[in-house]
Amino acid sequence: MDLFAKQIIQRKIFFVVLIIGLLHGLVYVFLIPPWQHYDEPGHFEYVWMIANHDTFPEKGEYDNEIRQDILDSLKMNHFFSYQNIEYLEEVVDTIDPIWIGITQVGDPPLYYTIASIPLRILKNASLETQLYVTRFLSLIIFLLIVWVAWQFAKEISPPQHPFRYLLPLTLVLIPGFVDHLTALNNDGMAVLINSLVMLSGIRLLKYGKNWSRILLLVLFSILAFYTKSSIWLSIIIALIAIFLSFFDYKRQWIGITVIVLFFIANLFILFEMGDVAFWFRNTRQTENTKVNTTYGSAIQIDVNQRNFQTNSLYQTIPLKENDSLKNKVVTLGAWIWGTPDKEASLPFLMILTNDNERIFLDSKKIELTLEPVFYATHFQLPDDFQRLFVVLQPFVASEDQGTVYYQNPVMADGEFPISSIPALDSDSLQGTWYGTSFENMVRNSSLKKEWPKFRPEIVNIFAIIDPRISEAANWLIYSLDIEGTGWYIQSTLERLFRTFWGQFGWGNVNLIGHKPYRILLVFSFLSLFLFMIFTKKNLKKERILMSFWLLLFVFASLFFAWFTGISMRAYFGKSYAPVARFIYPSIFVIISFLVFGWSSWIASLATNKKKILLIIYILFFMFIDIMAIYTNLLYYNL
């Protein structure tokens, strides 16, 4: 069979894949009731305002008239009962602006501008009709993504390799992806634009520097800026591709070395050492939280007239300690001194209950002196709670000013005499208190460990852009405390995995069956095992640069997902674990890990065995798809 005939066959196979994608997409367009996708009401409001207002809406604007219509539609379509928030339905009529969930007005406008075009024609149609029309537009974008996936697969795999059709086929068979990409939201456009950035960059790296390729990559990068913040990091990745394209194959390692050195140099520009490790910096003081004093190293909280917030430091007690502390009395103390004649609060505890309520166990106040004095307090812990935190917050009122120093903070399981002073070992890990041995649950009490903070100049830049960025940046640094915050990485990965495959109704509806995600976990590990085997056999040196560049997209998506979660105060309140829509922009690379091993295995077999393995692969996905559809039919009583 000549090359032309083989190309015709591959086009026919892709056409079949496209038809499957269309049919599967149509199922989800109509299967999911109105407003049962992430933030659909807020997305619709933005699209409707563009279609019906003379001016382009800006962040903070809203239209109570359309909000009332959306709210009426939410009630009519049983939104609140499906989401198990019936209590909210009772109070939404008293809220102004009218409640429709999270607003999207002010997001990058590209998708919303395009989605508003059909609504300009259908202004008199019902809201539900207008919603389904926008879902049809999302379906078209989804099919364009499938086409880009086919082009992507052709660029990174050998001619006639099964990967070329198995990648787009897998894409259209993943129920979670199809469900979300056929909804009204800007994620589909984000996936499309990011995929085009990816495809253009691959061609630039593969075929070499060419100004038309560079201009095309720049164009898609500009579109990325106007699409969604979740793909803004791809602009930097695109610039990296342009930079690397100026190096030929033999000198590519030079380009990668320059990028790594540039990244390391920026770390020195952004950060400086000097904060006490394992304490979350909830203070805008420019000084380090660790200082050297006449009495040795100490934790410093400096509150002056430039601060307009309650300044404090938090440390998480690791989850492994929780069970042993429930319904117990603990003793918390430290050596404290500071600005004389100032009244300051002693260290206290904060508890996050199982209902995500934050309870502060207050302690007494003391008058500061110029020399260290040991103070301690007893705290009765409840019989159940989620997480426990030690808090250093000397001044409760934001207008109070002064400097307070803490040395050797200690928390012990038990009711120790507060009039006595504990004797700690050199690392302050354990000691004796009133003749009784104990372990200190405050980590790094000796203050020997430091970690970074953003330089004051960088913090000032954050403050100019948005003061909230400074706080979010502190969450990033606090993530270095793996023992205290590592639980969030685990819960994030679990949430990403489940929603990637299929978790419907705003992520609240699990696949039916007895532990169905275990089947998917086994399949994923098997796929990764096959990937490693065949990658070792087939990876060529000229592909290393491309692989390195593509992995940057996965890192960017995972970082954005994780950072979105922690910036929503997940460490110290109700923990928001991000869902797979944040990583879908890099889905081509992610599912390549699943597909490459299988496709390479298929390619290595004789013709008859190829067909058998391919059928098994497709049947597995059909089983998951049927299970997902039945899950939604059952949940929505359809």
In the predicted model, is pLDDT for residue 5 greater than 60? yes
Buried b (16+ CB within 10 A) or exposed e, 171-201: bbbbbbbbbbbbbbbbbbbbbbbbbbbbbbb
In the predicted model, is pLDDT for residue 372 greater than 70? yes
In the predicted model, is pLDDT for residue 479 greater than 60? yes
* The pLDDT value given to residue 415: 93
Mean pLDDT of 162-173: 95
Mean pLDDT of 390-406: 84
Provide Rg for the chain, Cα atoms. Answer: 28
* The pLDDT value given to residue 192: 98
* Contact between 152 and 199 (Cβ < 8 Å): yes
* The pLDDT value given to residue 407: 95
CA atoms of 579 and 501, how far apart (whole Å): 11
* Contact between 583 and 557 (Cβ < 8 Å): yes
3-state secondary structure 541-590: HHHHHHHHHHHHHHHHHHHHHHHHHHCCCCCCCCCCCCCHHHCHHHHHHH
243 within domain boundaries:
no
Confidence of residue 247 (pLDDT cuts 50, 70, 90): confident
151 within domain boundaries:
no
Confidence of residue 404 (pLDDT cuts 50, 70, 90): very high
Q: Give the residue among 54, 44, 187 at the shortest CA–CA distance from 116.
A: 44
* The pLDDT value given to residue 173: 97
Q: Return the biggest CA–CA distance within the chain.
A: 93
* Contact between 485 and 315 (Cβ < 8 Å): no
Buried b (16+ CB within 10 A) or exposed e, 244-267: bbebeeeebeebbeeeeeeeeeee
509 forms beta bridges with 504
Find the domain containing 379 and state its range: 278-448
Confidence of residue 3 (pLDDT cuts 50, 70, 90): low
Q: How many domains does the chain have?
A: 1
187 within domain boundaries:
no
61 forms beta bridges with none
Confidence of residue 469 (pLDDT cuts 50, 70, 90): confident
* The pLDDT value given to residue 608: 87
- Residue 458, class by beta-carbon neighbours within 10 Å (0-12 exposed, 13-18 middle, 19+ buried)? middle
Task: Calculate the average pLDDT of the chain.
Answer: 90
- Residue 520, class by beta-carbon neighbours within 10 Å (0-12 exposed, 13-18 middle, 19+ buried)? middle
Mean pLDDT of 43-57: 92
Question: Coil, strand or helix: which one is 290?
Answer: strand
* The pLDDT value given to residue 308: 52
319 within domain boundaries:
yes
CA atoms of 503 and 511, how far apart (whole Å): 7
In the predicted model, is pLDDT for residue 149 greater than 80? yes
pLDDT tens figures, 596-629: 999 999 999 888 898 999 999 999 999 999 999 9
pLDDT tens figures, 279-299: 999 887 888 999 999 999 999
In the predicted model, is pLDDT for residue 146 greater than 70? yes
Backbone angles phi, psi at 62, to 5 degrees: -155, 165
CA atoms of 434 and 439, how far apart (whole Å): 14
CA atoms of 634 and 512, how far apart (whole Å): 9
Q: Tell me, what CATH number does 379's domain have?
A: 2.60.120.260
* The pLDDT value given to residue 2: 58
In the predicted model, is pLDDT for residue 6 greater than 70? no
18 within domain boundaries:
no
In the predicted model, is pLDDT for residue 242 greater than 60? yes
Between 43-57, 294-308, 410-424, 495-509, the lowest mean confidence (pLDDT) is in 294-308
CA atoms of 425 and 46, how far apart (whole Å): 61
* The pLDDT value given to residue 398: 58
In the predicted model, is pLDDT for residue 468 greater than 80? no
* The pLDDT value given to residue 316: 94
Of all residues in the chain, what percent carry a pLDDT higher than 90? 66
In the predicted model, is pLDDT for residue 50 greater than 90? yes
Structure tokens at 428: 């302050």
3-state secondary structure 315-350: EEECHHHHHHHCCCEEEEEEEEEECCCCEEECCEEE
Q: Decide which of 84 and 392 is more confident.
A: 392
Confidence of residue 523 (pLDDT cuts 50, 70, 90): very high
Mean pLDDT of 130-136: 97
537 within domain boundaries:
no
Task: Name the residue type at position 247.
Answer: F
* The pLDDT value given to residue 108: 94
pLDDT tens figures, 83-118: 888 888 888 888 888 999 999 999 999 999 999 999
Question: Coil, strand or helix: which one is 448?
Answer: coil
CA atoms of 58 and 43, how far apart (whole Å): 14
Strand order across the beta sheet in which 296-303 lies: 290-293, 296-303, 402-413, 329-338, 373-380
Confidence of residue 227 (pLDDT cuts 50, 70, 90): very high
* The pLDDT value given to residue 91: 85
436 within domain boundaries:
yes
* The pLDDT value given to residue 541: 64
Q: Looking up tokens 């807020």, which residue turns up?
A: 42
406 within domain boundaries:
yes
* The pLDDT value given to residue 620: 96
CA atoms of 578 and 99, how far apart (whole Å): 23
In the predicted model, is pLDDT for residue 147 greater than 80? yes
DSSP H helices in 502-540: 516-538
CA quadruple 461, 464, 466, 472: dihedral, nearest 10: 30
In the predicted model, is pLDDT for residue 537 greater than 80? no
Q: DSSP assignment of 141-169, as one string?
A: HHHHHHHHHHHHHHHHS-TT-THHHHHHH
433 forms beta bridges with 436
* Contact between 422 and 333 (Cβ < 8 Å): yes
